[in-house]
């Protein structure tokens, strides 16, 4: 098994805007090792959101190769990408994206439905990860009965439940106050210490400093990568 969970080679992404072609990513080369903690940073228009969508198999590159956990996903069709997303990637979004009418436990168990896991095992695994993120006493609460920080913990538990190859977090503290943001980042630090590969997309320098490596993008290219001075 390769020591890299992600390998990008010469990744380009071109969008057509009317009659104009916009090159959002220009021949990106990037590797991310197993159990690495990486932050992607860059100003608006730098290409970081486009890169995140490709890493998360939400979009495909115009050209180039993307190897995820030993599989070439750059040429896969939509159905194959959906399977890869469910199995290999745990998503954490700024807006939590929880289903409002069901409990925290049921929200966390959702990805396992698509994986074909039995109901009893789904709920057992969901309980385990909710306990890991400190929500053992909130499992039967619906999202509107939880604070912002608790909702993000539910979202993190949902990302972890399938034991994915990577955790991909897009501005995970964007809707949280400073203290709650600190608590959530402490949780990501702990998730990384437990052996998970974490990729964090943020525009906040202090949040990015939690990562071990910061990859800075500008105008569709990697400007530089640096070891965090945390």
For 69-116, the pLDDT digits (tens) are 999 999 899 999 999 998 899 999 888 899 999 999 999 999 998 888
Q: How far apart are the first and last CA of the chain?
A: 30
Three-class SS state of 227: strand
CB count within 10 Å of CB 222 equals 21
- Per-residue model confidence as pLDDT tens digits over 28-63: 999 999 999 999 999 888 999 999 999 999 999 999
Which tokens is 208 given? 């990015």
More confident residue, 44 or 223: 223
Over residues 145-175, the pLDDT tens digits come to 999 999 999 999 999 999 899 999 999 998 8
Q: What is the pLDDT of residue 164?
A: 92
Q: Tell me which of 3.40.50.880, 3.90.400.10, 3.40.50.300, 3.10.270.10 is the CATH number of domain 4-227.
A: 3.40.50.300
- State the pTM of this model: 0.91
Buried b (16+ CB within 10 A) or exposed e, 164-173: bbbbbbbbbb
Helix segments in the chain, DSSP class H: 48-55, 78-88, 104-114, 119-132, 148-160, 178-193, 205-208
Using alpha carbons, select from 112, 146, 148 the residue that is nearest to residue 128. 112
């Amino acid at each position: 098994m390769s020591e890299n969970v992600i390998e990008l080679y010469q990744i380009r992404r071109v969008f057509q805007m009317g009659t104009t072609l916009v090159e959002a990513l220009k021949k990106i080369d990037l590797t991310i090792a197993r159990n690495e903690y990486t932050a992607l940073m860059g100003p608006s228009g730098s290409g970081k959101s486009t890169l995140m969508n490709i890493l998360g198999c939400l979009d495909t590159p115009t050209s180039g190769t993307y190897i995820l956990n030993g599989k070439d996903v750059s040429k896969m069709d939509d159905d194959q990408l959906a399977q890869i997303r469910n199995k290999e990637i745990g998503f954490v979004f700024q807006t939590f994206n929880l289903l409002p009418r069901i409990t925290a436990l049921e929200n966390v168990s959702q990805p396992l439905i698509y994986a074909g896991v039995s109901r009893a095992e789904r709920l057992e695994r969901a309980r385990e990860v909710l306990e890991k993120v400190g929500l053992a006493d909130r499992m039967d609460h619906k999202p509107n009965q939880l604070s912002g920080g608790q909702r993000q913990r539910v979202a993190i538990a949902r990302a972890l439940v399938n034991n994915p190859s990577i955790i991909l977090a897009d501005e995970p503290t964007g809707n949280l106050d400073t203290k709650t943001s600190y608590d959530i980042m402490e949780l990501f630090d702990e998730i990384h210490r437990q052996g998970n590969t974490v990729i964090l997309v943020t525009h906040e320098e202090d949040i990015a400093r939690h990562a071990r490596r910061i990859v800075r993008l500008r105008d569709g290219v990697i400007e530089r990568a640096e070891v965090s001075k945390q």
